[in-house]
């Protein structure tokens, strides 16, 4: 079976060699996350686990896209950030998703699209999820450098091991904004590999933007991974009436999630639409990307949180509230006038 092993401290060749006697066969080493992926027979697990430098290990699992409704390409209009010349020029943004079809993006004008790993959406059962996510980002932040990290395999299945490999790549390549519109329903242990790996993005001055999940219709407190990560900026969704979308997952009073809300309903050409926290997350990723060519990520994420509109609903439903770009621009303008911005 496939297992993912987190090492205490730094992953070295010496450590990898000492796995050999336990029947573990190495498939991949994620040096930026200090995680190794490999095959092991179940009867050898105890022997492997007795190695004293093992922090934790997990079995591979399936994750899902966080969309409730996908029919067609969204018809997004570029927002007010462009008018203020925040284009996100050369800011590195990664989409960890089902792959992105650059041709399907059909974007006008000049834009940079950079492939990484297996980037196309071929072989993902026609699911254009990653392409929609990329489209939203490119519409709002047209000059960002977009990287597609395809984590869906040829059966369209998304495995935790693939997500960890993608996060490792993002850390190693100093990606500023990592969009993760994927999740796995359920509570995470404090040692969760995916949730904790997002700390490495933060350490490199980047940010992971994660969709909250679409379990809101089932009541409160249905969390998902890695939306519940303390290192993620977790995004819930509002509907077309700027109210909390009924599908957007609600946290528990003690969960500190979501962090913020953004539009999860995107109007498209004709009478079609797409919906889900999957599409709220890239809205936030794109806004961060726009500003990240001028400001540091910490400043931007703080600005997002402090300027959001309170929808007068519980904090564990809305976080700090609905993103408010006009408020953000207002604060930036005021700080410019008084010379206090970073
Ligand atoms: Zn987790």
Determine the distance separating the centroid of ligand 1 and the alpha carbon of 188, expressed in angstroms: 5
Determine the distance separating the centroid of ligand 1 and the alpha carbon of 61, expressed in angstroms: 11
Q: Residue 90, by phi and psi: left (phi above 0), alpha (psi -120 to 50) or beta?
A: left
pLDDT computed for residue 276 by the predictor: 93
Closest CA relative to residue 235, chosen from 276, 291, 190: 276
Determine the distance separating the centroid of ligand 1 and the alpha carbon of 233, expressed in angstroms: 14
The whole-angstrom distance between residue 44's C-alpha and the CA centroid of its chain comes to 34
Kindly indicate whether the domain formed by 64-331 is annotated with CATH number 3.40.50.300.
Answer: no
pLDDT computed for residue 110 by the predictor: 42
The stretch 143-149 carries a mean pLDDT of 87
Residue with the bigger pLDDT between 85 and 250: it is 250
* Beta strands, E only, the chain: 2-7, 25-30, 35-39, 54-59, 62-65, 92-97, 113-115, 145-150, 158-159, 177-180, 182-185, 207-211, 224-225, 232-238, 260-263, 265-267, 273-275
Residue with the bigger pLDDT between 51 and 297: it is 297
Residues with Cβ within 8 Å of residue 177, at least 6 apart in sequence: 91, 92, 93, 94, 144, 206, 207, 209, 285, 288, 289, 292, 297
Q: How confident is the model at residue 241 (pLDDT cuts 50, 70, 90)?
A: confident
pLDDT computed for residue 249 by the predictor: 97
pLDDT computed for residue 94 by the predictor: 93
Residue 109 has pLDDT above 60, yes or no: no
Compute the radius of gyration of the chain from its Cα atoms.
Answer: 20
Determine the distance separating the centroid of ligand 1 and the alpha carbon of 236, expressed in angstroms: 17
Determine the distance separating the centroid of ligand 1 and the alpha carbon of 337, expressed in angstroms: 42
Determine the distance separating the centroid of ligand 1 and the alpha carbon of 24, expressed in angstroms: 24
Residue with the bigger pLDDT between 258 and 131: it is 258
Determine the distance separating the centroid of ligand 1 and the alpha carbon of 103, expressed in angstroms: 33
- As a dihedral over the C-alpha atoms of residue 258, residue 259, residue 265, residue 267, rounded to 10 degrees, the angle is -170
Determine the distance separating the centroid of ligand 1 and the alpha carbon of 185, expressed in angstroms: 9
Percent of the chain whose pLDDT exceeds 70 = 85
Residue with the bigger pLDDT between 241 and 211: it is 211
Supply the mean pLDDT for the chain: 86
Domain-by-domain residue ranges, the chain? 2-60, 64-331
Residues with CB under 5 A from ligand 1 (ion): 188, 192, 194-195, 225-226
Residue 77 has pLDDT above 70, yes or no: no
Determine the distance separating the centroid of ligand 1 and the alpha carbon of 324, expressed in angstroms: 29
On the question of a cis peptide bond just before residue 226, with omega within 30 degrees of 0, the verdict is yes
Listed range (153-157, 222-226, 299-303, 327-331) with the worst mean pLDDT: 153-157
Percent of the chain whose pLDDT exceeds 90 = 58
The stretch 53-74 carries a mean pLDDT of 76
Q: How confident is the model at residue 76 (pLDDT cuts 50, 70, 90)?
A: very low
pTM of the model: 0.88
HSE-CB at 304 with a 13 A cutoff on CA atoms is: 29
Polymer length of the chain: 342
Determine the distance separating the centroid of ligand 1 and the alpha carbon of 140, expressed in angstroms: 29
Which stretch of DSSP H or E encloses residue 122?
none
Residues with Cβ within 8 Å of residue 165, at least 6 apart in sequence: 28, 30, 37, 151
pLDDT computed for residue 116 by the predictor: 44
Determine the distance separating the centroid of ligand 1 and the alpha carbon of 199, expressed in angstroms: 12
CATH assignment of 2-60? 3.30.70.80
């Amino acid at each position: 079976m496939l297992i993912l092993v987190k090492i205490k401290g730094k992953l070295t060749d010496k450590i990898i060699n000492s796995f050999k006697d336990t029947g573990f066969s190495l498939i991949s080493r994620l040096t930026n996350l200090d995680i190794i992926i490999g095959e092991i027979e179940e009867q050898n697990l105890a022997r492997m686990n007795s190695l004293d430098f093992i922090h934790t290990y997990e079995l591979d699992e399936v994750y899902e896209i966080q969309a409730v409704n996908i029919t067609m390409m969204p018809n997004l209009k570029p927002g007010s950030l462009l008018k203020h010349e925040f284009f996100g020029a050369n800011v590195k943004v990664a989409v960890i998703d089902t792959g992105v079809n650059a041709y399907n993006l059909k974007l006008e004008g000049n834009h940079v699209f950079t492939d990484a790993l297996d980037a196309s959406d071929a072989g993902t059962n026609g699911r254009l999820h990653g392409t929609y996510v990329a489209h939203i980002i490119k519409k709002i932040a047209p000059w960002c450098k977009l990287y597609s990290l395809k984590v869906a395999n040829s059966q369209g299945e998304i495995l935790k091991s693939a997500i960890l490999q993608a996060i490792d790549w993002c850390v190693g390549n100093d990606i500023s904004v990592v969009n993760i519109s994927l999740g796995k329903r359920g509570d995470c242990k404090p040692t969760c590999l995916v949730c904790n790996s997002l700390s490495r993005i933060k350490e490199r001055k980047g940010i992971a933007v994660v969709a909250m999940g679409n379990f809101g219709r089932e009541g409160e407190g249905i969390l998902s991974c890695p939306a519940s990560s303390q290192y993620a900026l977790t995004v819930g969704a509002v509907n077309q009436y700027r109210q909390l979308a009924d599908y957007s997952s609600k946290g528990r009073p003690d969960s500190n999630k979501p962090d913020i809300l953004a539009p999860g309903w995107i109007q498209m050409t004709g009478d079609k639409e797409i919906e889900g926290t999957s599409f709220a997350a890239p809205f936030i990723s794109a806004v961060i990307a726009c500003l990240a060519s001028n400001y540091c990520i910490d400043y931007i994420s703080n600005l997002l949180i402090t300027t959001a509109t309170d929808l007068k609903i519980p904090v564990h439903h809305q976080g700090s509230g609905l993103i408010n770009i006009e408020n953000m621009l207002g604060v930036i303008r005021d700080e410019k006038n008084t010379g206090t911005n970073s």
